[in-house]
Amino acid sequence: SKGIYDLAVLKAIRTIPRHVFFDEALLKYAYQDNAFPIGEGQTISQPYTVALQTQLLEILPGDKVLEIGSGSGYQSSVLLELDATLYTIERQYKLYQKAKQFLTSFGYKNFNCFYDDGSKGLEKHSPYDKIIVTAGAPTIPNILIHQLKIGGKLVIPVGNKENQIMIRITRIDEKNIIQDSFGTCSFVPLIGENGWNE
């Protein structure tokens, strides 16, 4: 009813038990449509936002996807349920470790976790079919567009530290992109070389 019509996305959201990503004290909130703390001052995204970003990516099975901001690993699981091959990067060491442990324990195979500043993308494994940024950026880092395949899509919240607009970039050829906007959202800041200062 909020505008999520992609049945594969809805099925993935229905399949993944969100409570396993929650601390015991917050368990009762696990199935509310809100963001919640996951430690290190970070949050697990709102299910609606996870669904929206995933729907905008138009994931096809086998797509090579870069996720910037692994956080809890919840969005990563949704992408893996859709049979993406996932590269996910996180700048907080504890969260990087935890996400890796979760994804392994769920039995997913097609993922690689990285501990680094994802605002630079991940050149080594580029180009990607899709790139998703799950933290709010001050501007769209050009380097991310360059790491997309032609025809690839980048979904990124862009704005100030409190509120952003959900942007989708489609790379149509070497030099040209199409940019669409999909309403306001509120993410923790993307911190790094092409993001905010700490």
Shortest Cβ contact with ligand SAH: which residue? Answer: 71
Nearest to 130 by CA among 82, 193, 86: 86
Distance CA 160, CA 189 (A): 8
Closest separation in Å from C-beta 4 to ligand SAH: 16
Q: How far apart are CA 145 and CA 161, in angstroms?
A: 22
Find the catalytic residue in 1, 45, 72, 105. Answer: 45
Binding ligand SAH by CB under 6 A: which of 118, 152, 157, 159? 118
Smaller CB distance to ligand SAH: residue 89 or 169? 89
State which residue, 152 or 192, has the beta carbon closest to ligand SAH: 192
Please tell me the distance from the alpha carbon of residue 76 to that of residue 162, in angstroms, as a whole number. Answer: 23
- Determine contact, residues 70/90, Cβ cutoff 8 Å: yes
Name the nearest CA neighbour of 182 among 162, 167, 161. Answer: 167
Q: Which of 95, 103, 122, 148 binds ligand SAH (CB under 6 A)?
A: 95
The contact mask relative to ligand SAH for 54-73 (x = CB under 6 A, - = no) is --------------xx-xx-
The span from the CA of 32 to the CA of 75, in Å, is 16
Output 118 or 159, the one with its CB closest to ligand SAH. Answer: 118
Interacting residues with ligand SAH between 131 and 150 (CB under 6 A):
134-135
Query: Rounded to whole angstroms, how far apart are CA atoms 9 and 143?
Result: 28
Annotate each residue in 75-94 with x if it binds ligand SAH (CB under 6 A) or - if it does not, as one string. Answer: x-------------xxxx--
Q: Residues near 28 by Cβ (< 8 Å), separated by ≥ 6?
A: none
As given in the structure block, the two tokens for residue 158 are 């862009």
- Least Cβ distance, residue 170 to ligand SAH (angstroms): 22
45 is catalytic: yes
Contacts (CB under 6 A) with ligand SAH, residues 165-194: 188, 190-192
**Min. distance of Cβ 194 from ligand SAH in angstroms?**
8
DSSP, collapsed to helix, strand or coil, labels residue 30 as coil
Which residue do the tokens 């909020």 mark? Answer: 2
Contacts to ligand SAH by CB under 6 A: 42-45, 68-69, 71-72, 74-75, 89-92, 95, 117-119, 134-135, 188, 190-192, 195
| Catalytic machinery residues | 45
